[in-house]
């Protein structure tokens, strides 16, 4: 007697796979009226710089797409709706020796399945400092760097990536850990990683959007199958966060060549139904799509005004 698909012993659900963010994003924007599909960065090869010294002697920096909290820029707290007014448009840096309050309200993280309550999920500086104190790495670079999330490949490649490279060189950085949040964030840090690696600085991307990062082709990628906004581990779970960063460091040290992806064994939860929700137009009514179009247009206008003012 034939065994039906649902009776296969021990098989996972068919949709318990990495979320196809490029397809979801394309379908979502088409559904709200933006019919010209976005072209994601695509390469078939990647530069590769082996780590020049043992991790225990190396100086590491972090690149983040999170934004410094500014109380003048509206709601940026846990669970805040998308806030285009909190975006930044130029590379920034921060003192690694000081505490920082970085938020992700300005980007499209998974607002259904995570609330952005724990900054350690997207900014692993405290954990990296602990690793330095324990001798796991040589030291943390004096500064970390913020990479603007930009849909323009050209701006990222020609402006932002070189600016981050210059800062890394000034700080004599040996390797960089890049931590994205939203879909475009994953593309941004992938392009930055490629630029750093081509110029002699080893990198590892920690992320949750596997399709986008591998499409762009990076030297090293640690994939955590978590909702967007949790690239550095689960919220309020220091063990998960330490383990995730440790996996990234192992990959940084041991990758045999470019385009090496390692998947974390950690699961968000046993039930993978959460993967069905992110920008899934099949689950949205026409009224919901129309509301989202209005909200998106309003946020675009607000962000454009801020960008023009910062230029």
Domain count, the chain: 1
In a domain, residue 228? The reply is yes
CA distance 291 to 111: 17
Whether 42 is in a domain gets the answer no
E strands present in 220-265: 220-223, 260-263
- 135 in a domain, yes or no? yes
Is the Cα torsion angle 63, 65, 66, 72 positive or negative in sign?
A: positive
Give counts: helices (H), strands (E), the chain: 8, 10
pLDDT given for residue 24 in this prediction: 95
Q: Provide the CATH number for the domain around residue 99.
A: 3.40.50
Report the pLDDT value the prediction gives residue 213, as an integer from 0 to 100: 98
Domain that holds residue 259: 55-68+80-263
Rg, C-alpha atoms of the chain: 19
- Predicted TM-score (pTM) of the model is 0.94
- Encoded tokens for 185: 């964030």
Please report whether residue 259 resides in a domain: yes
- Looking at the domain assignment, is residue 12 inside a domain? no
In a domain, 39, yes or no: no
Helix axis angle for 161-170 and 183-198, nearest 10°, is 50
- Kindly state whether residue 225 falls inside one of the protein's structural domains: yes
CA-closest candidate to residue 168, choices 239, 264, 74, 63: 63
Tens digit of each residue's pLDDT, the chain (311 residues): 444 455 567 899 888 999 999 999 999 999 999 888 999 999 999 999 999 999 999 999 999 999 999 999 999 999 899 998 899 999 999 999 999 999 999 999 999 999 899 999 999 999 999 999 999 999 999 999 999 998 899 999 999 999 999 999 999 999 999 999 999 999 999 999 999 999 999 999 999 999 999 999 999 999 999 999 999 999 999 999 999 999 999 999 999 999 999 999 999 999 999 999 999 999 999 999 999 899 888 877 777 777 676 55
Residue 35 maps to a domain? no
């Amino acid at each position: 007697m034939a065994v039906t698909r649902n009776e296969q012993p021990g098989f996972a659900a068919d949709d318990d796979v990495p979320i196809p963010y490029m397809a979801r994003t394309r379908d979502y924007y088409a559904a709200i009226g933006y019919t010209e599909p976005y072209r994601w960065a695509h390469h078939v090869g990647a530069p590769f710089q082996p780590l020049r010294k043992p991790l225990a002697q190396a100086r590491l920096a972090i690149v983040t797409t999170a934004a410094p909290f500014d109380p003048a820029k509206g709601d940026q707290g846990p669970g805040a709706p998308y806030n285009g007014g909190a975006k930044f448009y130029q590379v920034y840096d921060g003192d690694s020796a000081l505490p920082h309050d970085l938020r992700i309200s300005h980007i499209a993280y998974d607002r259904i399945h995570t609330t952005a309550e724990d900054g350690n999920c997207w900014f692993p500086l405290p954990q990296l400092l602990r690793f330095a104190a324990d001798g796991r790495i040589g030291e943390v670079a004096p500064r970390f760097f913020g990479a603007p999330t930009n849909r323009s490949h050209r701006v990222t490649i020609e402006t932002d990536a070189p600016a981050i490279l210059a800062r890394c060189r000034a700080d004599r950085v040996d390797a960089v850990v890049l931590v994205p949040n939203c879909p475009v964030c994953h593309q941004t840090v992938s392009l930055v990683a490629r630029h750093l690696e081509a110029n002699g600085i080893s990198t590892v991307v920690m992320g949750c959007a596997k399709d986008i990062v591998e499409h762009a082709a990076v030297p090293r990628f640690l994939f955590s199958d978590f909702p967007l906004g949790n690239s550095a581990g689960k919220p309020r779970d220091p063990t998960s966060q330490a383990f995730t960063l440790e996996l990234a460091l192992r990959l940084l040290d041991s990758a045999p060549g470019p385009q090496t992806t390692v998947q974390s064994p950690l699961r968000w939860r046993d039930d993978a139904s959460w993967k069905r929700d992110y920008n899934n137009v099949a689950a949205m009514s026409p009224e919901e799509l129309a509301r989202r179009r209005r909200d998106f247009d309003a946020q675009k206008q607000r962000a454009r005004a801020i960008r023009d003012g910062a230029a």
